[in-house]
Each structure stands twice: as structure tokens, then as C-alpha cells.
Amino acid sequence: MFESAEIGHQIDKATYKREEPQLREALLGAQYELLRQARTAVVVLVNGVPGAGKGETVNLFNEWMDPRHIRTEAFGQAGGDGRPDMWRFWQVLPPKGHIGILFGSWYADPLSDCVTGQDKRDRFHHRLERIRQFERMLAAEGVVLVKLWFHLSKKAAKARFKLLGSDPRTAWRVSTAEWDHLKQHDDWVRASEEALRKTSTAEAPWRVIEGSDPAYRSLTAGRLLLDALTACLQAKSAARAPAAAPAALTAPALDGRSLLAAQDYSRHLGRKRYEAQLEELQGRLNGLSRRLVDQHRSLVLVFEGMDAAGKGSTIRRLTQALDARHYRVVPVAAPNENERAQPYLWRFWRYIPHHGHITVFDRSWYGRVLVERVEGFCSQADWMRAYGEINEFEEQQHEAGAVVVKFWVAITPEEQLRRFEERKNTPHKQYKITEDDWRNRAKWPLYAQAVGDMIDRTSTRTAPWHLVASDDKLWSRIEVLRLLCERLEAALGATAK
Amino acid sequence: MFESAEIGHQIDKATYKREEPQLREALLGAQYELLRQARTAVVVLVNGVPGAGKGETVNLFNEWMDPRHIRTEAFGQAGGDGRPDMWRFWQVLPPKGHIGILFGSWYADPLSDCVTGQDKRDRFHHRLERIRQFERMLAAEGVVLVKLWFHLSKKAAKARFKLLGSDPRTAWRVSTAEWDHLKQHDDWVRASEEALRKTSTAEAPWRVIEGSDPAYRSLTAGRLLLDALTACLQAKSAARAPAAAPAALTAPALDGRSLLAAQDYSRHLGRKRYEAQLEELQGRLNGLSRRLVDQHRSLVLVFEGMDAAGKGSTIRRLTQALDARHYRVVPVAAPNENERAQPYLWRFWRYIPHHGHITVFDRSWYGRVLVERVEGFCSQADWMRAYGEINEFEEQQHEAGAVVVKFWVAITPEEQLRRFEERKNTPHKQYKITEDDWRNRAKWPLYAQAVGDMIDRTSTRTAPWHLVASDDKLWSRIEVLRLLCERLEAALGATAK
């Protein structure tokens, strides 16, 4: 990967002086056009060997362009607050029209953990594969990645450290860490080469820049950024669309039967038994939530269901058992302007709980494969890739120690109609029923099909779906609480008192 | 993954009788249109639980459509002749316009090795990831995958085995193997679910069919195949094209220096020393080639270089040392009609050597990122994804026990001109020089750029590139032989006599 970056590239000062102003002007122009189009976000990854000019280049980019529309972030080793590793990168993704510069980026930790031997080869490969999926998803969502690797041969690195160290004004740049890195230079090169090769895709290829000559390095980095900006400004559409799409998962089963319709909706629970069981289960859940804090685990709860299925009232019965400092309920509606300027998972990543915390999503990222699919808010290719992206998202949560529990609160169309009528006829419930609800109801078969596909394709061992027949609200609430307690007991490894 | 396929789907006989003739007619029509367009190949994967009707469905497909244009292949456990696992599937890929039905397919071995515990989880995941890359490549090359999984719940499987076993005419269908499978049903389901989820992509999603009712199963399978055929016949273009392409790797370095130009071309060897060293090295190589046979390893040699670089004469010096029964030389020119009807790697997979054998490629799959890139024979997205596909291809060869050695036989433009003139002026060499050679020569800088990118992106630890400066033919031949012997000695674990 580094062969061409060890041949001593350089550019003379006169050329640099001539080229630099033109490059600046072009970059600035492209940046403003990006902002005006507001169609694509550009993320520049800055990685490479110490002493190869990464920091200087980041400074230059900010000097050459308007820094108010550039978000520069530097990353050290991950903190470990119980959120997935990728969480902190999601927090700083630039919105459409903006440029993000990630110094270190999602490559720094996997590489260093590989070189220090903390990660075994399989784990390293797993993390690279995760990165590849992440970047593929970003590209599909219209984010352009410019991946720059600044390289120095071992000889050049040594020469540069000596040079920097010999001048009191630059000696601070070379610490023991840099010399230690040099000792392990070959290990770093081996790991980096592999990482770069395995993550150089057609959508997001790595570009290697020889770092020893500042003029060559700066002009090259600037030129690569400019090329990427120009390419994405000229592209016809921001997202990738497949020319030969496979047949979609849209046809209902030939016998007309669906997973939702096949549930048993006849179950019923009397008020008295409900109240006794509710109290017992809420106590059990409370104990479990304390265990969760003690064990530094977190809990992600997802509630999905048709309109009027009883998601809200079920969530209330559940949160009654929790300490308000430990949970938050996130109601999910149509995305707002800020959220639409980001990949669709962005607004959910924000609320992933840290250690000891609980997030309850009242509707969730599954909107992508439900309402967005049925209403055509995204393309077929978009929602079809979403199953894999969502599984990957939840797997990351699981690996970071979260318990992920998902409920589909299921009602029959007849029961929904009864509840709609009741809402319409009860003054204090009228606000709950809108024209949208009736429109959605008319598309019941399409939603039923989408729900079946969703459950088939995203019910995993670590984050299974629980379908709860809820025509009887009391039975359903108890069932949800019971399933939740069981899942927590299994995950936390002990029966609560 | 199987939730919707355990709810007891079924279709009554009257419906089947009404629907079946229409479906047949539509399938046959679509098959002929596929053949007429000859733009896409369709590969149907038939996998699933024993007793779920896989064999019956394969027979039906052949009955419903014209079997002369269907290639049906069944696969048992891989043989282990030293070729990569994927080799046998490459051999049976249908050409454009045709339908291939793969019974068992590339999923059977990974699944069974996972369930029997022969493969650890990491290995299982690695194989699934390999499959995902393989299928992504097929989709990008215009192959449509129809992945059908035939499922039975444990209860339904048991009932079906009992039913089949009780009738003397069908008892042969249920052997001990089927009952053993049933005992491990839960393990199979767990592994299959994971495999299906991880390989259900937007390009090639799995479709699960409940297998207990023959009418439902047959109509559903036929309908899914018809939908896939219809979608690919209507698609505008066979290959996927990215709407927002990243900036290509086409710009030369800003200082005009290239990896090729940076080599030292001044090295020279006198005739006398050449002849002594040639004899010694050929002897050494001969010994090593015998070791290769003894150790059941294979050798893949790749020679690339500009026209007149001396690839052919170098290869002859090398094969002089080999037993004719052990090697074959594959000269690679522009693909013929059969080869153009397949993914670009297909014609190379054919010649991957088995245990104890050697294949020498005189030009190779690297044409994709050299001539095809420079001449625009494939799109930018195609050659940019090729680096990863080629690395994956060579990694599979390495894992199967092959030693992969790649040479770039490098000459300067001045030396090429000298040789061209010599060929032009020497009657028995005139056949070697054509108009094409002069045309290619005019594009030297583009080729130099492509070679630099190729070496940067495909020189791996297990299959590195060796750049050999060859303005002096004698020095170059000796260097190639020496490097080859060293690589073989390192791989075979001992110094030859």
C-alpha cells in the first residue's frame, strides 16, 4: 500500500508558491458550492504515521477554507462509557453541505489495539469489517468520504524526528511516544497496510500521501480534497441507486396469511389479577433496574406497533417501576430538518444510553422499514439494505453491554377500529386521532407485510422481537412486563428478589 | 428469519390448478426473453431444511421451463483437491442469458461445518463475509441471484418425515441422515438464521419459503423466480452504476514521479556469470518444484509488464527447470465471446492449479486494473472495486495452500523503443510488433500510473508484487529466478539442496 509513497516525492518552493493560491481559491469555491447545494456531507479522515504532517494538513485545510463550515475533531483512545465504539463518531458527523475533518477517526483504535496485541487477528478483522459496513452505509446515505493516509518510510520518519528534535522551536513535536512508535514501525506498517487494503472500496478508497516534503504533501492533500469535492458537486444525485434492482420483498404471501394475522388475539386478563400481577412485576423490574446499574449494563427498549395499539400506556406502566434518573423515553416522529441532513440512524445513535441507563424508544429506527418503506419515503434499495444496517447497529449495542429488547404491540384491524371510534367519541382523547391515522389504517395489508419482513429479518438471538397480542390491554401490559423481566434476568445472570 | 415460515402457509388444490399453468407460461416466456437479451445470468440458490421440498422444486423448475437453457448442479461436501472452496462454483456459473440452479450452493459447507463444530464461530463468520463479498461482486458483474431457503418448523419436519416414511413409495426419501438432522434441528436453525441474516443484502436478499404444503411451496418458489426474472429483464442496465462516484485514482502524483520511474534500471549482468547462475538457479527451482508436489502445495505465477518487457523469455527460462507434467502456461489476451459472458475473474478461476501443480499466467486478472482501466473497457467503479476483489481472489488461493508470486517486469520507455525498433528491423521478430504496441506505448504515463496504483493496492503479505528492473534481460531473468526460489523456500519451509 505504501510502495509509491516511499520514493521521495517532492515539489520545489517556486511551484508551491505558484500553485497554492489557485488551490485555495478553488477549495473555497467548492466549499461554498457544497454548502449551497446542501446535498452531501464530506468527511475527511486524517490518519497515518506520526511526524508525517497530519496536524499541519488539518491546520492548512482550516486556513485555506472557511473554518465556520468545517467541523474538526480529534480523537484519542475511546473512553468506555458503555456505548458502542462508533457512538462518538456519530456525534460529530457533519450535516449535509458541511465538511468534517476527523483527525484519528475510527481507524486509530483498531490499529493501535492490533499493534499492541490487545486485539487478536480475528477481532481486528471483525472491526475492519464493521468499518467497511459503516462506510458503505455512509456512502449509500450520500456522505462522501475522503480517506487520507500520511506515510513516511522508516528512514524518513527517523530523519524527520531528528530534524524536529534538533530545533528548540519544534522539539515539542517529538516525544517518547514518537520514538516508541518508530521502534514498532514495521508492526504499524503491517497492520496499516492490511487495514487500508481491506477498507479501500470503490466507494471510499484510501489515498496515501508521502509526508516528508511539506510542499508535496500539502498540495497533494489539497488537490485530493478538491477532486473529491468537485466529483460530488458534479454527481447527478447524492445517493447511489442500483441500476438492476433485485425483485423487492413486496409481494404478500400467496395464501394471504401474514405473521401478524397468525397471532392468537383471544387472550384476556381480568382487572383483579391484572392489578396483582402488575404490582409484582413492577417490583421485580425495579430490582432488575438496580442490578443493571450495579453491573454497568444498559437497556435499550424498542416499542413499535400500529396506531392505537397501546404503546404509550404500556410504556407508562413500565416506567412507573423505574427511577427517573435512570431512564429516558424518546418519542419518535417524522425527522426534523437537522435530522434529515444526516444518515437516517443518526437521530437514534444520539440517544443510545451509557452504563447504567435505560432508553425507551416509542417508535424507532424501524420506521425505515415500516412507514418509510410503505409510504415510499425512501427507495427500495434503501429499505432493503436497512435490515442489515439495523442488525449491525443493534449488534454494536449488544457488544457494548446493552440489553436490547424489542416489542411489537399487535392488535387486530377490528380492535383498532373500535379504539379509533372510541377516541373520536371521547373529548379528551380526540387529540390522539388524526387524518393520518385513518390513512395509515387503509394501508393495513402493506404494513402487515412490512412488519412480517421486519420481524423475519431483524429478530436476532441477541435482539429478538417479541410479538405481543394486545387486543386485551391488560393481558398485553402484563405480558410485556413479564417478557422484559425474563430478558433482563437472563442477561444479568440472576433472579431478582 | 423463519418466523413467517412457521405459520402453516397453504394453498388449496383448485387454486393451484388454476394458477400453475399461468405461472409456467410466464416463466417460460421470461426465460426466453432472458436468453434473447443475453445481458444477465440468473443463479438460483436452493438451500434449506431436509424434507422441505428442495429437490421437488428443482425438478419443477426444470419441468416448467426449457431445461436446455438451465444448468442444474448439486453439491455435496467439497473434495479438497487443493483448490479454493469457491472454485467448483465458478466452474458452473451460467453464461449471460442462462439460468443456473445450484442445489446446495456455497452455503451448504459453511453451515454444516458450523453445526458439526468443525468450524469455530470466527471461521464461520469469515466464510460468511467471503460469501457476501462474492455475491456483491456477482451482482456488480450483472449476475442476478435468487436465494431460496426452504424451511420447516421442527414439528412440521417430524410430521413430514413420518408421513414420507409410512409410504413405501416415498420411504427412501427419509434416511438416518434426515432423522439425525432433526435431532440437531435447533442448531441448524440457529446457524442458518445467522447465515441468512448476514448474507441478506439489498442486492441479493434471501427469500424464505415454508415447505410443508407442496402447492404453496411450488407456487411461491415459481413466483419468486418469475419476479426476479421480470425485474432483471426490465432493468435499464445489467450492472450497477454509482450515482455519486468518488474521485478516481487517475491523477498522477503532483511532482510527476512514479513508482515505475523510481526503479534502478542500471543493473547489469555479463553473459558468463549469467550462464553460471542460470544453471544453479534452475537446479534449485527444479528441486523446489518437487518439494511442492511432495507437500501437496501449488504455485501460481503471475507475469505482468509493458510490451516487449521480456515476460515470455523469462517464463521460458523458468519452465525449462520444470517437469512438463507439473505446469501449464496460460497466455492471456482479450477475452473471447464465452469469457465475456461471465464475470471477469471467471476465465482465470478455470486455471487455478490443484495440489502439486503450477500455473504460469503470462498476463492475468490484473488486466482489469491495467488495460481495461486505461482503455476504458470497464467503468471507473468496476476497476476501483477490482483491487479488493483481486486481493480476495488471491487470499483464497493462499488459504487453499497455493504460493502466489507476482512479477512486474519493468523496462524504461527508452529501452522499449529500442526493442520495438529491433523487432521492426528483424524479420523473424516482426510478428511480435503490431500497431497496438505503438498505441499502448503512447499511453505510457497512464499505464505507469495504473501500475503504481496496482502495486500499492494489491501487494499483500501473502501475495506481494516483485518489481524487477529489466532493461538488462540477463540480470532480470536471474533476479526473477532468485526471487521465485526464495519465495518457495520460505513457503515450503526448508532450503533446497
Minimal CA–CA distance to A479: which of A317, A357, A292, A302? A317
B355 touches chain A (CB under 8 A): no
**B141 to chain A: nearest residue by CA?**
A244
The string of DSSP codes covering B145-165 is EEEEEEE--HHHHHHHHHHHH
Contacts of A260 in chain B (CB under 8 A): none
Extract the residue ranges of chain A whose pLDDT is less than 70: 236-248, 494-497
Distance from CA of B246 to the nearest CA of A (A): 6
Contacts of A465 in chain B (CB under 8 A): 3
Domain regions of chain B by residue span: 3-234, 271-492
Give the residue-averaged pLDDT of B457-468: 93
Neighbours of A302 (CB within 10 A): 23
Contacts of A122 in chain B (CB under 8 A): 122, 126
Q: Which residues contact B258 (CB under 8 A, 6 or more apart)?
A: A4, A7, B252, B445, B448, B449, B451, B452
Q: Where does the pLDDT of residue B245 fall: very low under 50, low under 70, confident under 90, or very high at 90 and above?
A: low
Give the residue-averaged pLDDT of B279-287: 94
ipTM reported for the complex, 2 dp: 0.80
CA-to-CA distance for A485 and A489, rounded, in angstroms? 6
Cβ separation of B253 and A9 shorter than 8 Å? yes
Summary mean pLDDT of chain B:
90
Check whether B208 has a pLDDT greater than 50. Answer: yes
Burial class from Cβ neighbours inside 10 Å (0-12, 13-18, 19+) for residue B428 reads: exposed
Strand, helix or coil at A77? coil
* Fold category of B271-492 in CATH: Rossmann fold (3.40.50)
Q: pLDDT digits over B165-177, tens only?
A: 888 887 877 888 8
What pLDDT, on the 0 to 100 scale, is given for residue A424? 87
Cβ separation of A259 and B385 shorter than 8 Å? no
Contacts of B194 in chain A (CB under 8 A): 460-461
Cβ separation of A255 and B11 shorter than 8 Å? yes
Cβ separation of A190 and B461 shorter than 8 Å? yes
Task: Please report the residues numbered 152 through 181 in chain A whose beta carbons come closer than 8 angstroms to any beta carbon of chain B.
Answer: none
A225 touches chain B (CB under 8 A): no
B231 touches chain A (CB under 8 A): yes
Contacts of B456 in chain A (CB under 8 A): 1-5, 208
Neighbours of B108 (CB within 10 A): 18
- Report how many Cβ contacts below 8 Å link chain A to chain B: 217
Strand, helix or coil at A453? helix
Check whether B239 has a pLDDT greater than 80. Answer: no
What pLDDT, on the 0 to 100 scale, is given for residue A77? 78
Query: Of the candidates B7, B239, B253, which has its C-beta nearest A257's C-beta?
Result: B7
Contacts of B461 in chain A (CB under 8 A): 190, 193-194
Query: Of the candidates A3, A201, A257, which has its C-beta nearest B385's C-beta?
Result: A201
Query: Of the candidates A3, A11, A205, which has its C-beta nearest B255's C-beta?
Result: A11
Pair B478, B281: CB distance under 8 Å: yes
Pair B314, B409: CB distance under 8 Å: yes
What pLDDT, on the 0 to 100 scale, is given for residue B240? 47
Check whether B289 has a pLDDT greater than 90. Answer: yes
Cβ separation of B194 and A461 shorter than 8 Å? yes
In the block, cell 435499550 appears at: A300
- Mutate which of B255, B453, B462 to test chain A, going by most A C-beta atoms within 10 A? B255
A452 touches chain B (CB under 8 A): yes
Check whether B244 has a pLDDT greater than 60. Answer: no
Q: Which of A419-423, B53-57, B246-250, B268-272 has the lowest mean pLDDT?
A: B246-250
Pair B205, A246: CB distance under 8 Å: yes
Contacts of B231 in chain A (CB under 8 A): 244-248
Common-topology check for domains B3-234 and B271-492: yes
Q: Which of A162-166, A482-486, B37-41, B64-68 has the lowest mean pLDDT?
A: A162-166
Task: Write the CA distances from B74 to B39, B150, B222, B263, integer angstroms.
Answer: 25, 16, 19, 51
Cα three-residue angle A27-A31-A33, rounded to 5 degrees: 115
Grid cell of A196 as nine digits: 487500508
Candidate CATH numbers 3.90.550.10, 3.40.80.10, 3.30.70.1450, 3.40.50.300; the one for domain A3-234: 3.40.50.300
What pLDDT, on the 0 to 100 scale, is given for residue A494? 58
A132 touches chain B (CB under 8 A): no
What pLDDT, on the 0 to 100 scale, is given for residue B381? 87
CA-to-CA distance for A329 and A321, rounded, in angstroms? 14
What pLDDT, on the 0 to 100 scale, is given for residue A239? 47
Cβ separation of A244 and B243 shorter than 8 Å? no
Contacts of B5 in chain A (CB under 8 A): 456
**B381 to chain A: nearest residue by CA?**
A202
A145 touches chain B (CB under 8 A): yes
Q: Where does the pLDDT of residue B237 fall: very low under 50, low under 70, confident under 90, or very high at 90 and above?
A: low
What pLDDT, on the 0 to 100 scale, is given for residue B494? 58
* Residues paired with residue B405 on neighbouring β-strands, in sequence order: B301
Of the CA atoms within 13 Å of residue B428, those in its CB half-sphere come to 0
